[in-house]
Amino acid sequence: MKIEGFDLTRIAMPLVSPFRTSFSTQTSRDILLVRVVTDIGDGWGECVALGDPRYSPEYVDGVVDVMRRFLIPALAGGGLTAPLVAERLRPFKGHQMAKAALEMAVLDAELRAEGRSFGRELGAVSERVPCGVSVGIMDSVPELLDAVDAYVAEGYLRIKLKIQPGWDLEPVRAVRERFGDDLLLQVDANTAYTLHDARHLAKLDSFELLLIEQPLGEHDIVGHAELARMVTTPICLDESIESAADAAAAIKLGATSVVNIKPGRVGGYLEARRIHDVCAANGVPVWCGGMLETGLGRAANVALAALPGFTVPGDTSGSGRYYRTDITEPFVLDDGHLTVPTGPGLGVAPLPDMLAEVTTSTQWVSL
């Protein structure tokens, strides 16, 4: 295909409630959407970078700059296919989330033109995927219990609690005592601890958690391997894994026994599939993480989560978990599952009126 240009659209999406993690509290999302215009049709991508560089080095203003100045110009010329996007962008170091959004848009355009779905392209084997939900840090344990109770009542099959020093053992104990041992429960530290906290983290073993996600710093692979030998709860890596090579190395070192795959963090859905394949070959289960995506990113994540190695319910929550109104037709939980879209490309597209209502700016970058 030949690219004519990209629309870079900023939207403001207020959250239904504040979402607090160990690194920030979000009340709304400043999201960059990417629409590619090609000679075979249009495609949509969504960038998962946050408004500031707290979760990762990338942030929305920086993404727009690097796309305009470097990444988009590198995609000029005919004969472009989705697998070639990563190859053309490889000379530019980092910027995985920016690259992922561009690849997603090109892949969507290509698949829409060919009448194929994301699920079929990636290798989905399921028509529906089981869903978990991520629960942020609360002001009190009773508030947390009320929130978890509501999500369990909605039908979510797995609960993930955000933790940090000072908010870990007590809330986990309270949730386990209230909801029992049958509840699939895991925790996510978002790098909030160090290896010096190993004995404290080992106290989580008594709660029979599915996993402890990213307890240490993203670059501390060796520390995670040491921690894995000191606790019985499986260690899951998130921020540490940016490629299939990272996943292979972490598995070989014993630093992880479960992997959270976030396509934006690893540079796109094609690299996410490669990570899935590496983990499957090593008998390591994977699950699909979330970044508070709109229906565009959610559609692609649900398709990815339908691959055979995704045996742990992911953060592929329904649209209503974060947004009162989505920019696409909403994803609605059905008996704890979401249906994998089967239409061409993502199988969904922004609703024009909804998109216009939340748009804060647009930029056209021609080639």
Q: Which residues are catalytic?
A: 162, 262
Whether residue 97 contacts residue 124, with contact meaning beta carbons closer than 8 Å, is answered with no
In which residue are the tokens 């989330």 written? 97
- What angle is formed at CA 59 by the lines to CA 258 and CA 70, rounded to 5 degrees? 105
- The H or E element containing residue 27 is strand 25-38
Q: Which two three-digit tokens encode residue 48?
A: 């998962």
- Helix or strand (DSSP H, E) at 10: strand 3-20
CA distance 106 to 7: 12
Name, in order, each residue with C-beta under 8 angstroms of 25's C-beta and a sequence gap of 6 or more.
Answer: 18, 19, 136
CB 346 within 8 A of CB 108: yes
**HEC per residue, 247-295:** HHHHHHHCCCCEEEECHHHHCCHHHHHHHHHHHHHCCCCEEECCCCCCH
CB-based contacts of 303: which residues, under 8 Å, 6+ apart?
A: 117, 118, 119, 122, 124, 340, 341, 346, 347
Helix (H) or strand (E) holding 109: helix 96-114
DSSP characters over 301-362: HHHHHTSTTB-S-BS---GGGT-SS-SSSPP--BTTEEEPP-SSBTS----HHHHHHHEEEE
